[in-house]
Chains A and B, each alone.
Chain A
Amino acid sequence: DAGVIQSPRHEVTEMGQEVTLRCKPISGHDYLFWYRQTMMRGLELLIYFNNNVPIDDSGMPEDRFSAKMPNASFSTLKIQPSEPRDSAVYFCASRGDSYEQYFGPGTRLTVT
């Protein structure tokens, strides 16, 4: 398996633009997680899905953030409109029966 795949790896955008981050979990994993990592706050859980259903979105910072999982092999995290303080590395992770979470390589987002 190729592991958790995220795209793009780097995204630079201007304030106010819409940003869409994509994730393909490991096949067969029924949990999918979105995290955000910054130097000041460390790793933060934004939202997670179980069997494509959002279970806990209490970590989503505000209404500008939304996440979807239309099927078992794809999820998106959207920020609209983006702001400079959204600059961070966004990680997707998935988990199956073994309970080990596998992380993707991350998307480094820079909002100018």
Chain B
Amino acid sequence: GEDVEQSLFLSVREGDSSVINCTYTDSSSTYLYWYKQEPGAGLQLLTYIFSNMDMKQDQRLTVLLNKKDKHLSLRIADTQTGDSAIYFCAERGWNNDMRFGAGTRLTVKP
């Protein structure tokens, strides 16, 4: 089947960089997304990358896409305690269906 996979937990120290990884299986994915879920809230779109791009940077966020390996990553520079949340990777497939990973719970320790 077509799956989006990511590890469930990641813990980092405040000030360090966080790297959240994701793998997907649909080679025809057009867009790949990162959603963020704050405690007690729903998911909100954080950033996205078109499949013909390798990298996208937005302030402290860097998205890297390795289309050959079907690997997507989200790097958060200078991670703050306010970045503690669950981060979801998602892909839009050839039929425009969206598939989400299970989410990575990022814990930032002071």
Q: Which residues of A contact B (CB under 8 A)?
A: 4, 35, 37, 41-45, 91, 93, 95, 99-101, 103-106
A103-B42, A103-B43, A104-B42 known; A95 and B88 CB under 8 Å?
no
Q: Are B42 and A106 in contact (CB under 8 A)?
A: yes
Which single member of A43, A91, A95 contacts B101 (CB below 8 Å)?
Answer: A43
Q: Which residue of A lies closest to B6 (CB)?
A: A42
A42-B8, A43-B101, A45-B100 known; A99 and B31 CB under 8 Å?
yes
Q: Which residues of B contact A (CB under 8 A)?
A: 8, 31, 35, 41-45, 88, 90, 92, 96, 98-103
Which single member of B8, B44, B88, B98 contacts A99 (CB below 8 Å)?
Answer: B98
Interface of A is mostly: strand
Q: Are A42 and B98 in contact (CB under 8 A)?
A: no
B88 / chain A contacts, CB cutoff of 8 Å: 43
Q: Which 3 pairs from chain A and chain B are nearest by CB?
A: A42-B102, A103-B42, A103-B43
A25, chain B: closest CB distance, angstroms: 13
Bound-state CA distance A24–B99 (Å) is: 21
B108, chain A: closest CB distance, angstroms: 18
Bound-state CA distance A105–B39 (Å) is: 11
Q: Which residue of A lies closest to B90 (CB)?
A: A101
Q: Are A42 and B41 in contact (CB under 8 A)?
A: no
Bound-state CA distance A26–B42 (Å) is: 15
A104 / chain B contacts, CB cutoff of 8 Å: 42
Q: Are B98 and A95 in contact (CB under 8 A)?
A: yes
Q: Are A103 and B44 in contact (CB under 8 A)?
A: yes
A37 / chain B contacts, CB cutoff of 8 Å: 103
A50, chain B: closest CB distance, angstroms: 10
Q: Are A105 and B41 in contact (CB under 8 A)?
A: yes
A101 / chain B contacts, CB cutoff of 8 Å: 43, 45, 90, 98
Bound-state CA distance A100–B92 (Å) is: 10
Q: Which residue of A lies closest to B99 (CB)?
A: A45
A-B contact pairs, 19 of them (CB 8 A): A35-B100, A37-B103, A42-B8, A42-B101, A42-B103, A43-B43, A43-B88, A43-B101, A43-B102, A44-B102, A45-B99, A91-B43, A93-B43, A101-B43, A101-B45, A103-B43, A103-B44, A105-B41, A105-B42
